[in-house]
Chains A and B, each alone.
Chain A
Amino acid sequence: MKILPLKSKFEAIAVRGTPAPVVGAEAGAPVPLVNETPHATKGIDLDVTVSAERVVEAVKILDEANWMLEAITGVDWLAERQFEVVYDFTHVDSGERVTVRVRISRDKPELPTISHIYGGANWHERETHDFFGIIFLGHPQLIPLLLPEDARFHPLRKDFTA
């Protein structure tokens, strides 16, 4: 079980205090910070929520434990005026999956890049920027990847009209 040594390290840095609304949770309930989830029903083994300032630390924990970056994507929670950035990691020896979630404000969508730790994050962050307009601070080349070079629109935002 590769996730066991990670749990305590994540609990040290996971989100505390003010709960952010989470789909399925009751309003006002404490945020599930570090959750072991059943793989058969959720597809992931460990679900971690961190704040934007702690993303780089969380990803370093995973890098030192030899986890592989699978994907980075975003979700637009228009009603709560937040973006959620979801990082998916897997381990090649055990097939376990860790998901790191970050919630950022929709009006100022910024969080630090992890492309200096994982080279694959370069393209994933560019794609997330294309679709949502999230700015990854410190990214070496945050220009459109899938959209045309002069595109200034972000199509997967819920208030996007063509």
Chain B
Amino acid sequence: MEKQVEVPPGLIHFAMLDDVLNMARANSLWPMTFGLACCAIEMMATGASRFDMARFGCEVFRPSPRQSDLMIVSGTISRKMAPAVVTLYDQMPEPKWVLAMGNCAISGGPFKFPGQYGIVEGVDKLIPVDVYVPGCPPRPEALIEGILTLEEKLRGKRCFPTVEAR
């Protein structure tokens, strides 16, 4: 086990201001266009006309990591790609969050088999992940639910109704 790095708590706490800042961050998450494989198409569909992620504030897909705060890892991470993923994560400014979309980003997905030589079994082996969205690929509604879960994590409470199963 590596030694856990102690992150010192903030020197000054502004309770109300923290809440306002967190609400602002939750309502305007800027994702980075990081489509790796099949899940990228469902991410595009989520941002397109029918499902429209812009309703939840995630309209602005920034190509550059320096201008984004949410990295949606959509697709399989190959061992050749792993250093690039870590570099992009390091380039993102704080505060930043990671959403692992799809089975490949969670655990290697359908490409995990004994004797595999090419993929990293889950993006959380490289970078810390905040929300996991399972599916192969997850439906756009599932991705939106993942975004809302992340917003709940930021805000402390959920602003949108939960879809009840009938």
A residues with a Cβ closer than 8 A to B are: 147-149, 153, 155, 160-162
Contact = CB atoms under 8 A, between A and B. Distances in A.
Contacts of A162: 115-117
Contacts of A153: 117
A40 B1 CA distance: 60
Contacts of B117: 153, 155, 160, 162
Nearest to B115: A162
A148 B81 CA distance: 9
Contacts of A149: 80
Interface of B: 79-80, 115-118
Contact of B80 (A147, A155, A160, A161): A147
Overall SS of chain A's interface: loop
5 contacts: A147-B80, A153-B117, A155-B117, A155-B118, A161-B115
B163 to A, nearest CB: 42
A147 B115 CA distance: 15
B72 to A, nearest CB: 24
A153 B115 CA distance: 13
